[in-house]
Amino acid sequence: MYSLKNKTAIITGGGSGIGKAICVLFAQQGARVCLLDIDEKGSRETVEQINKEAGFAEFFVCAVDQETSVQNVVQAIVSKQVPDILVNNAGIAHVGNVENTNAADFEKLFSVNVKGVYHLAKTCIPHMKARGGSILNMASIAALVGLPDRFAYSMTKGAVAAMTLSIAKDYIKYNIRCNSISPARVHTPFVDGFIAKNYPGLEEEMFKKLSATQPIGRMAKPEEVAALALYLCSDEASFITGTDYPIDGGFVRLNN
């Protein structure tokens, strides 16, 4: 079950964290992984690990917020193989409410988190229409509940959730499925760096505090999110489209 043999998967933001876990697992299940990222060091390490473990992966330097960059990379990929799977995982975070979020930060969040999904979907879908496929977008619980000091970030993830529904509706006739995943906090190098940057000297305390906000009592592991991604992109999920899946340790439904 959950075999991706003979499938080509384009995965953005695969240099670390959730994206890396998705790349590794998809390759283990037989996919040809095309990793798109601006993090050359992390991405090359991911590709090296996959190829060493007898999988297949290629790295393409790509800024998802730049349409020309996306178009050039996707063209290079489809010249060899049309993608069967697109995982829009790349994204950035931000702390702030509406008053203290400046316009530059707001626009950067929108450019990467929203336009990045748009650029990849717009460029890949024409190639996928002939034989169908699966698109998976990384949303967030920030699109489902109010989180303090996450104004711009929540805006972008709400847009991702809405785009997921629109794509699913518009392309169901082409057998293209589109779903999203909404994680709560996931323990990644990004989280460690975020805590170190914003709470210097309080890293251990803040890690425990952030972990405790999930009713299950801990953060998710990247591999747990990757396992859900694998299911949703596999043929076993062929009856699922236009759906968001919280993976949140009970955060959305049990925090009351």
List the strands of the sheet with 133-138, edge to edge: 56-61, 32-37, 8-12, 85-88, 133-138, 176-183, 244-247
Say if CB 132 and CB 81 are below 8 A apart. Answer: no
Do 21 and 226 touch, CB atoms closer than 8 A?
A: yes
Which two structure tokens, joined as six digits, stand for 143? Answer: 């699109």
User: Which ranges of 90-188 does DSSP label H, i.e. alpha helix?
Assistant: 103-109, 116-128, 151-171
Residue position matching structure tokens 């991604």: 229
- Determine contact, residues 160/117, Cβ cutoff 8 Å: yes
CA geometry: angle 9, 242, 109, nearest 5 deg: 70
Give the separation between CA 84 and CA 7, rounded to whole angstroms.
Answer: 6
Active-site position among 118, 153, 171, 245: 153
**Number of neighbours of residue 234 by Cβ within 10 angstroms:** 19
Q: What residue has token string 């229409």?
A: 129
The token pair that represents 20 in the structure block:
């890396």
**245 assigned to active site:** no
Tell me the C-alpha distance between 43 and 58, whole Å: 9
Which residues share a beta bridge with 116? none
Q: At what angle are helices 151-171 and 116-128 packed, to 10 degrees?
A: 10
Active site residues: 153
